[in-house]
């Protein structure tokens, strides 16, 4: 492969992985990104996915989401304040639009606590898994 062809392949891998993350309905695991990316980039390796995720993160285009279970997922940085719903049946994590917390950043919690931010993950069953 020539330098140019190699460069083009790298750009394609990067664009594909970014598009996979941007078009998802919630933060994705490395395995999910790898699986979906293979549709556009046949033969895409897991090591390439890890390397590309690091580059996209350094470029400020994506960020990690660490769930209370300790699992790391990736989402675009352009999303505003939002929360996640983790389906225990299919293990998919969805973005939620509504914020169920009544004390926003800059508010105060009784007892003199100044609230700067919060993170919430809701657990349960997603619409597709209701029987
Ligand atoms: Zn589900
Ligand atoms: Zn919130």
pLDDT digit string (tens) for 5-63? 888 888 999 999 999 999 999 999 999 999 999 999 999 999 999 999 999 999 999 99
Q: How confident is the model at residue 75 (pLDDT cuts 50, 70, 90)?
A: very high
Domain match, 64 and 91 both: no
13: left (phi over 0), alpha (psi -120 to 50) or beta: alpha
Ligand 1 centroid–CA 3 distance in Å is 44
Return residues with CB closer than 5 A to ligand 1 (ion): 87, 89-90, 126, 129
Domains identified in the chain, total number: 2
Ligand 2 centroid–CA 100 distance in Å is 6
Domain match, 25 and 75 both: yes
Domain that holds residue 55: 1-79
CATH number at residue 74: 1.10.10.10
pTM > 0.85: yes
Domain match, 72 and 91 both: no
Q: Kind and range of the H or E element at 113?
A: strand 113-114
Domain match, 58 and 75 both: yes
Domain match, 57 and 89 both: no
Ligand 2 centroid–CA 17 distance in Å is 27
Distance CA 45, CA 16 (A): 13
């Amino acid at each position: 492969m020539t330098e140019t062809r190699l460069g083009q392949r790298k750009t394609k891998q990067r664009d594909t992985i970014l598009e996979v993350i941007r078009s998802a309905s919630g933060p994705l695991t490395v395995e999910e990104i790898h699986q979906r990316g293979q549709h556009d980039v046949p033969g895409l390796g897991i090591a390439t996915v890890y390397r590309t995720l690091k580059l996209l993160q350094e470029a400020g285009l994506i960020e990690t989401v660490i769930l209370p279970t300790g699992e790391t997922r990736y989402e675009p940085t352009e999303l505003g304040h939002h929360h996640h719903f983790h389906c225990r049946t299919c293990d998919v994590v969805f973005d939620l639009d509504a914020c169920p917390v009544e004390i926003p950043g800059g508010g105060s919690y009784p007892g003199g606590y100044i609230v700067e931010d919060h993170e919430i993950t809701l657990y349960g069953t997603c619409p597709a898994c209701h029987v």
